[in-house]
Chains A and B, each alone.
Chain A
Amino acid sequence: MGAYFDPLESWKVPHFGLFWNRIKNDYPKVEVRAPIPSREGVEFEFGVAGPQRELKIPIRCWFINQDDTRLIQVQNNVFIHNWRRPGGSQEPYSHYDDLRPIFEQEWRRLTEFLREQSLGKVNVLMCEVAYINHIDRGVGWDSFAELPRVFPSWSGVTSGSFLPHPQAVSIRAFYTMKEPDGLLEISLQPALRQADAKDIMQLTVTGRCKPASSDEKEILSALDAAREWVVRGFTDFTSAKMHEIWRRTT
């Protein structure tokens, strides 16, 4: 789950290190990544900057916990907290109710840091909750011809008989959220899981909405609303047969 906000103009590269120092006990690993682009693209002034001009280098930092299950992504307009199940583990999934307090705590650490460093107040534009599900080949489907059994909205029916069954299918659908205003994105991508080289379909359901204000309470409320859409959207998008299979296997 995450929050997107207006760029913090005073945020500079050393602030990543200062913030990491604050959370390093919980997130001892760090990686520097390319930034998540904004609608306007990534602003990078290196090529045109003269020697007297201060560089604005767009980067994103990943702060990862010791057992590689939790990640905080920070850039000057983004804060995201991710959870993932340890590779090869059968450990039960963490639920939203478990992860929400962690997000709350880490968000508070960020906003306190911003206040202490006089980096300005965040103006949150959007909150986001994403749920990722791997649907393994062999669990409810064996080929993309069987996709309608998993996703009722995909019929697989063609006008004639020329086309064979698809070798792979990728779907990206958007739904307008009401109460609060926002957008639900459902993305289906054929993929190969690197840990075991298995064929999977990755279903990603992402709810995004604008909080009523940038107060922590409103941000959490927006996350709750987005999560509600994610859960109900996932259920609606997938078939009753798959729900039955998942009930048996989890």
Chain B
Amino acid sequence: MSSAGALAIATPSMERSTRRQWSRVTFLDTTPPWVLESLTALDKMTELGDNWDGYGSPRIQPGALISARKLIASVELQDLPAPHACPVSGGHVGLHWRVGSRELELTVLPDAQIEYLKVLDQDLEREDSMQAGVLAAEHSAELERMLTWLIRG
């Protein structure tokens, strides 16, 4: 049998068989480019030592980095733009998105909590232009709602 014949046997489809698997992993070759870019930015933060900001901040805490990696890996929204990932004083990790007039700023803490700041309107004089709060470790549904708000309004 030729190779082409063998391929025909391998029906029903030529999709990667991993799509049929029962996996708890995020494949980096099929996710949007921002995922790999953000993970690379997080990797670079591990190189920062104590006092990286010149104001006595400790190095980025491993717990914050792991939580940020989990957060990025768990987001399944294809059309989300790349966040700006940055170190935050205190050893935390910051992720910041801006879509039109909407902004979402997340600060990932070492205990897996996430502080958030939603900017609903650029007119910051308005009392209801911002919302802030904290998400607990089991935050995926609420986080997904926020990210959906960010891209769809």
Among the 9-residue stretches A115-123, A152-160, A203-211, A231-239, the one with 4 or more Cβ atoms under 8 Å from chain B is A203-211
Among B9, B18, B28, B69, contact of A187 (Cβ-Cβ < 8 Å): B18
Q: A189-B28, A190-B29, A191-B26 are in contact. Are A126 and B11 (CB under 8 A)?
A: yes
- Please tell me the number of chain A residues within 8 Å of chain B, measured between CB atoms: 49
- The answer to whether the Cβ of A248 comes within 8 Å of any Cβ in the partner chain is no
- The answer to whether the Cβ of B22 comes within 8 Å of any Cβ in the partner chain is yes
Chain B contacts for A194, CB-based, 8 A: 24-26, 70, 73-74
The answer to whether B12 and A71 have CB atoms under 8 Å apart is: no
The 8 A CB mask of B58-80 against A (1 = contact, 0 = none) is: 00000000110110011000000
Chain B contacts for A176, CB-based, 8 A: 1, 3, 6
Closest to A181 in B: B1
Chain A contacts for B21, CB-based, 8 A: 82, 130, 132, 204
Bound complex: CA of A175 vs CA of B18, how far in Å? 17
Bound complex: CA of A126 vs CA of B1, how far in Å? 16
The answer to whether B25 and A185 have CB atoms under 8 Å apart is: no
Chain A contacts for B14, CB-based, 8 A: 39
Q: A73-B20, A197-B73 are in contact. Are A192 and B11 (CB under 8 A)?
A: no
- Please tell me the number of chain B residues within 8 Å of chain A, measured between CB atoms: 36
CB distance from B113 to the nearest CB of A (A): 16
Closest to B37 in A: A167
Among A170, A187, A193, contact of B17 (Cβ-Cβ < 8 Å): A187
The answer to whether B6 and A170 have CB atoms under 8 Å apart is: no
The answer to whether B11 and A38 have CB atoms under 8 Å apart is: yes
Chain B contacts for A71, CB-based, 8 A: 22
The answer to whether B28 and A168 have CB atoms under 8 Å apart is: yes
CB distance from B56 to the nearest CB of A (A): 28
Q: A39-B11, A192-B39 are in contact. Are A172 and B16 (CB under 8 A)?
A: yes
Bound complex: CA of A176 vs CA of B69, how far in Å? 38
Interface of A is mostly: strand
The answer to whether B11 and A182 have CB atoms under 8 Å apart is: no
B window 49-100: CB within 8 A of A:
66-67, 69-70, 73-74
- The answer to whether the Cβ of B101 comes within 8 Å of any Cβ in the partner chain is no
- The answer to whether the Cβ of A150 comes within 8 Å of any Cβ in the partner chain is no
Among B3, B22, B27, contact of A202 (Cβ-Cβ < 8 Å): B27
CB distance from A66 to the nearest CB of B (A): 15
Chain B contacts for A185, CB-based, 8 A: 10, 17
- The answer to whether the Cβ of B7 comes within 8 Å of any Cβ in the partner chain is yes
Bound complex: CA of A177 vs CA of B70, how far in Å? 39
Chain A contacts for B40, CB-based, 8 A: 167
The answer to whether B28 and A192 have CB atoms under 8 Å apart is: yes
Closest to A5 in B: B12
Q: A172-B16, A181-B1, A206-B17 are in contact. Are A193 and B24 (CB under 8 A)?
A: yes
Chain A contacts for B12, CB-based, 8 A: 4, 36-39, 77-78, 125-126
5 extra interface residue pairs, beta carbon distance < 8 Å, beyond A182-B9, A197-B67: A73-B20, A176-B3, A189-B16, A191-B28, A206-B17
Chain A residues with CB under 8 Å of chain B are 2, 4, 36-39, 62, 71, 73, 77-78, 80, 82, 84, 87, 125-126, 128, 130, 132, 134, 167-168, 170, 172, 174, 176-177, 181-183, 185, 187, 189-197, 200, 202, 204, 206, 208-210
